[in-house]
């Protein structure tokens, strides 16, 4: 929707996944990741992770006053609030997102009468990373997590809306759709987050136009794995050569510690988005 924008991604691959970590740790990691992007002169920050959006958005907003910061929880909740007819909404997410309660709060604020059920589905993250998005393992896991809400014999009122509250879960869309059955809207916050970003920047969305901006990637570990997993997520646009390895934890190696992270490198090239 912003075809002329330059995009700079950062993936904290050395410390992922965030979804099973405590709020204090996720907040610290999110601030460190954002610091790298801010130092390279970004004009806006999209927190494209439900866990970080759920627990660190306030801290990010407070740290860089004036920088537009857009998370994925609020747009996802808005889409769900618009989609539900019966008012029965289910959210699948990571442990940290569920514990943080951000979806419940956002949905209740938008539509107080909505009934929200949440469930942590950690194994789905591992399945998406492994590329097991269809087949018997993905199906068995989806059934294990969702049958008591969606199976024909389920006791509770069946939700009519399922929020994919983790950016890994849209990879399993077909499997999840088959398991929940017909009549359920699956909400992925990608589209509504992009719309929210345009709104914050005061720019009309230009869907369909060919991209003219640059695309660059930072990661904290394992360029090969990042390229392999990232390509699955981004539809094949990612090559190892596009990746720059960065360090978030200490800033620089500690003197005398013999830090073996010799793979760390800093390139001198002009950062995208500056």
Among residues 68, 101, 170, 222, which is the contact residue for its own copies, using CB under 8 A?
222
- Report the C-alpha dihedral over residues 169, 87, 185, 190, rounded to 10 degrees: -50
* For its own copies, the closer CB: 125 or 184: 125
**Residue 39 touching its own copies (CB under 8 A):** no
Least distance between its own copies and beta carbon 23 (Å): 9
**Residue 118 touching its own copies (CB under 8 A):** no
Per annotation, catalytic residue among 73, 102, 166, 219: 166
The stretch among 100-108, 125-133, 169-177, 199-207 that binds its own copies (CB under 8 A) is: 125-133
Clarify whether 166 is annotated catalytic: yes
* For its own copies, the closer CB: 3 or 135: 135
Clarify whether 49 is annotated catalytic: yes
**Residue 13 touching its own copies (CB under 8 A):** yes
The CA distances from residue 234 to 87, 98, 154, 156, 237, in Å, are: 33, 26, 36, 37, 6
Least distance between its own copies and beta carbon 210 (Å): 35
Contact 47, 69 (CB under 8 A): yes
β-strand pairing of 185-187 with 215-219 = unpaired
Whether the bond into 17 is cis, omega within 30 of 0:
yes
Contact 13, 220 (CB under 8 A): yes
Among residues 8, 36, 78, 95, which is the contact residue for its own copies, using CB under 8 A?
95
Total interface residues for its own copies by CB under 8 A: 44
Per annotation, catalytic residue among 10, 33, 49, 219: 49
Assigned token pair, 100: 């943080």
Among residues 41, 181, 183, 250, which is the contact residue for its own copies, using CB under 8 A?
250
Residues that bind its own copies (CB under 8 A): 13-15, 20-22, 24-25, 27-28, 31, 59, 63, 95, 122-123, 125-127, 129-130, 132, 135-137, 139-141, 143-144, 221-222, 225, 249-251, 254, 257-263
Active site residues: 49, 166
């Amino acid at each position: 929707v912003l075809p002329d924008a330059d995009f700079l991604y950062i993936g904290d691959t050395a410390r992922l996944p965030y979804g099973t970590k405590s709020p204090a740790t996720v907040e610290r990691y999110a601030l460190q990741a954002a610091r790298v992007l801010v130092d390279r002169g970004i004009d806006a920050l999209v927190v494209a992770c439900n866990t970080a959006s759920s627990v660190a958005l306030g801290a990010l907003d407070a740290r860089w006053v004036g920088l537009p910061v857009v998370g994925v929880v609020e747009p996802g909740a808005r889409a769900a609030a618009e989609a539900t007819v019966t008012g029965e909404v289910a959210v699948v997410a990571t442990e940290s997102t569920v514990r943080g309660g951000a979806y419940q709060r956002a949905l209740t604020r938008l539509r107080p009468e909505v009934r929200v059920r949440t469930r942590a589905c950690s194994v789905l993250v591992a399945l998406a990373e492994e590329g097991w998005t269809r087949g018997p393992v993905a199906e068995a896991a989806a059934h294990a997590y969702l049958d008591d809400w969606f199976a024909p014999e389920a006791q509770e009122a069946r939700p009519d809306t399922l929020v994919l509250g983790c950016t890994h879960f849209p990879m399993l869309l077909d499997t999840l759709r088959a398991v929940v059955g017909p009549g359920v809207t699956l909400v992925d916050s990608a589209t509504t987050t992009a719309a929210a970003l345009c709104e914050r920047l005061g720019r009309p969305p230009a869907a369909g136009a060919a991209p003219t901006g640059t695309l660059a990637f930072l990661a904290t570990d394992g360029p090969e794995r990042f390229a392999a997993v990232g390509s699955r997520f981004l539809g094949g646009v990612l090559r190892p050569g596009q990746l720059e390895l960065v360090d978030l934890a200490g800033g620089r190696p500690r003197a005398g510690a013999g830090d073996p992270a010799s793979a760390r490198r800093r390139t001198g090239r002009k950062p995208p988005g500056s």
